[in-house]
Amino acid sequence: MTVVIVVFILLIAAVYFTLMPFMSERVLARYQSVNQDEYSADELKKINLLRQIKEVEFEREIGIIDQEDFHRVKSELMNETKVVMDSIASEETNAPKPAPRHCPKCSARVPKESKFCGHCGTPLTK
Ligand SMILES: [Zn+2]
């Protein structure tokens, strides 16, 4: 009888610790605070995919999905996430950025509008 009680308590503890990160209010608050306007379509897709990965990991933890399905679904989700992340990265790379200006003599980085190098004093031409 004692063994049964100990096993039962361990089971409760295991379920509790598995569920805790998903149920914690901080995590829920963070998910709920995702403001759709602040994210691009790709970023929202990425957030959604990451949630789905978490969900499938959770399903595996509690045993409602078998190992084979878990690996298939997870790798599909990871591939999709990678595509979305690549797309986000290329958007960022393609965004116009002001080219940094460097002194022709000492190569120090200089502000765009300055007429002289702040490092060596060389006059800068446009
Ligand atoms: Zn210089």
Determine the distance separating the centroid of ligand 1 and the alpha carbon of 85, expressed in angstroms.
39
Give pLDDT, residue 33: 59
- Are 96 and 88 in contact by the 8 Å Cβ rule? The answer is no
Only one residue has tokens 């940094």, namely 100
26-53 tens-digit pLDDT:
655 665 555 656 788 899 999 999 999 9
107 shares a domain with 84: no
Give pLDDT, residue 22: 62
Element at 116 (helix H, strand E): none
Predicted TM-score (pTM) of this structure: 0.47
Residue 3 covered by a domain: no
Q: What percent of the chain has pLDDT over 90?
A: 48
Residue 34 covered by a domain: no
Q: What's the domain count of the chain? A: 2
Give pLDDT, residue 85: 94
Give pLDDT, residue 14: 78
Please provide the average confidence, as pLDDT, over all residues in the chain. Answer: 84
Range of the domain at 49: 11-29+39-94
90 shares a domain with 61: yes
Determine the distance separating the centroid of ligand 1 and the alpha carbon of 94, expressed in angstroms.
30
- Tell me the C-alpha to C-alpha distance, in Å, between residue 7 and each of 10, 24, 63: 5, 25, 18
